[in-house]
Structure 1
């Protein structure tokens, strides 16, 4: 029996269907409400079947076919079916794999089918929303639902159960599938469905609100995941209590929540009051957790219909307001203002970015890295710049939302990488042995094809691998969950590149992991360099940090040096390399030919 999904995701049964159409519909609805997968493949080999495919449920198209092939993968083994002379496939373990299209595949065995058969269910997800632990848990729970539905169907054939009983069971399962297991709020897919329904029902005025817990990852790292879960549940209850009856409250994922709530006509003042009530309610509720650095949230909101009528528009505008709140210092509420917040709108900025790439307005700049003992230029860090319509060069801090989208982030890296190698090849001779440090993102390293793309750029420009440094932030290292990031870094190191840990000291979790990370160079954040003027304690911390790096055999590069006094202090501590405005501002590619080879070091 083969069931196929049409483009509208409505499954249709084969002509000889015997109730599997109901089963397919239930599985479709439950999968969509639970996890929002891009494609689903379900394979069950019923006992006594002569070939694989007693039930093969998959989404049409290339992604559906890829998901099906991943589900039945070549590493599945054949085994003897119980009480039978036939053989069937054995689906024994959960598998996760990233593929080159920016998609994550996850396959979960159906382990509770007993003598009725054997099978597995596989899902395809966009890598942007991939959260390993949560997604695997959600898919495992869904596998239990699929097993229950199959067993119900199998039993129904023999017991002639009433259709109403199956419908009631399905309704209960669907409601379970709508709820976020941790917080008991609507999950992301259910929130979107109910919000769309509310907007389509003729609501006159409403507010779309997005909330993000400030520095939640820090709290999780400091106090552990068990406390983090308790924190999320406390915040969820406080949010629900803050909004009136008829509001839809959901957890979008991680530490992000959303609310759609009715407003009275001209309800801006009312909305301000709701947001204030929500923030104070969260602060009161989290006091009971007994930790000093919890209870702070950033909030972004927009109004329907003033700021949009479609769900996607309201979502983007509330998200832009939320991003503006974070940019303004966090722990505040911001209501969308198109004149101020369009630059935070992912969709709008994405369009502008792609146009800028076409116009060659995305360019690399080169900041010298200097030997603090000799004053010799040792290399350059490549920095991205975006030339706007007025001719001003924007720094990454002004277009940081680009790095929230995996497609745009990867395109930025590749654009800068190819142009930087080209500028270097034209204006720097190999005999100078000047290193080139490229900044890469989480999305780059999660893509298994990234190393090959760097290899291509290196080969095309006849660049020496031993002169290449890959810079990775501490937050990227802390976000490692699947092993792909470390695999990418180790492959790059195997080719001769070095790996630098950037902004060290800002991630709050690096010391306990540092010795195990694939790192060659530590870049000390400007925060520590600025502290040199603050007194002996700050100096002692920096000196201890440099000493630790020396014992771990790491090179040390100090960032943000602005005075000759800082150069002297760092040199006395044993720090060999540094960069900052005291030496030079970042240079355009064409200025490399007139660069200074030696800088004054006081």
Structure 2
């Protein structure tokens, strides 16, 4: 009993003892310290004098039910001190029975955890709210956004995420100081919050960056009036002491579930749209384009596949012969890239090259084509097949400042291949990019011995200008004109005109897309002797070209007359 009395007196926890009717018969010093009631004041009273009114009658009913049925109850409750202040306690109430099982006392042992709870709440507030504006921070924003996204799925509704950046806020900070800048942020945060609906979330995620989550939208466009109110709230003048300042805002919007990504990606997409709004002139909104983003993502994926294809040697060159329709001589071949895709099979250039037209990858692929064609010519020359090869070069690669230097290095790597055996075909549209620069570049490369051809000639707007200003040795008539010369008088006139121009400017001319003997006869009649096309041969792997040239030479001695096979293709 002596030990028990000592514990009762000196315990840090408050202890109260009541009789079976609930009348307090004793309390310890800690009880008085916590509640403010002296021992003499509280003895004889009911613990109800401490009630704060925060707990409901149902709370006390559940508490007494546990005490009666289980003999004890533990939990938290708010009580009131003598001075009227509230405190939170963690308490255990136990029923004490004698040896016969009769109820003798109730003992309550409690600790004041008010300060600990306040500290916990302050830490939680710091963790979830912006210190300056009191708005939710990024952590709480994502929590609420994920909840709203789940709600959208349940209700088949939409939400909008708006990323807002204040225009010109940096200048305010620089001119008036950070203290006034902070006041500006507080004032604008309050205004923007007032412009929103009750269930919307406005969060501060950066210095002058805010995010709004607008949930429960009946339709995708229902966010627009809310965003317009935000723009107005952000652009109204703010009076701060002697200064009246005015800013504006750029807002990027993305919509869920139209933009079916996770919360983090939604924020990035809204941020991306915000930058579009800034670039468009600020003080406006821009909506994230899901389709455009998907196309860009697909383009990035194709770019990565092409990089990998270069590393894994998945590209190959096929060669389409060029012949002289009058003499039957094989005068060269065009190198055409193919992609041996691991899952899609052999791909023609039209299925992947457009994706890198204006990308540095086109330079890497273009250099690979030139290097591979030169290496192949070296092998053919060693076998006795002296054939010229043309390769296509795009505008991006041409306009690279190091093109001529890289070309010279590639030529030096194959010293047994005379430079004049390499012909570079450039699209007529490529020359439009910078005609003066390309003309200078062509002359530089021609000084190395390389030849040039203008590909797809006739498809541009200023063909005569190109022919006058660009020093190409060869003009290549586009197959779209050649293919229909038998049936379309306009195409026939265009082809005749191109041949006449080439003759007048002393250029060689070659027709692509020659499919039948009839095409060849018309071209010869117009003065065009050089041709390539399916009617002569389809593009073939490098390994097949030597045998094809031998078969062609055996079947078509030079100078033999033009004739037709049974399938209508050209023969001699």
The two structures have a TM-score, normalised by structure 2, of: 0.48
**Larger Cα-atom Rg:** 2
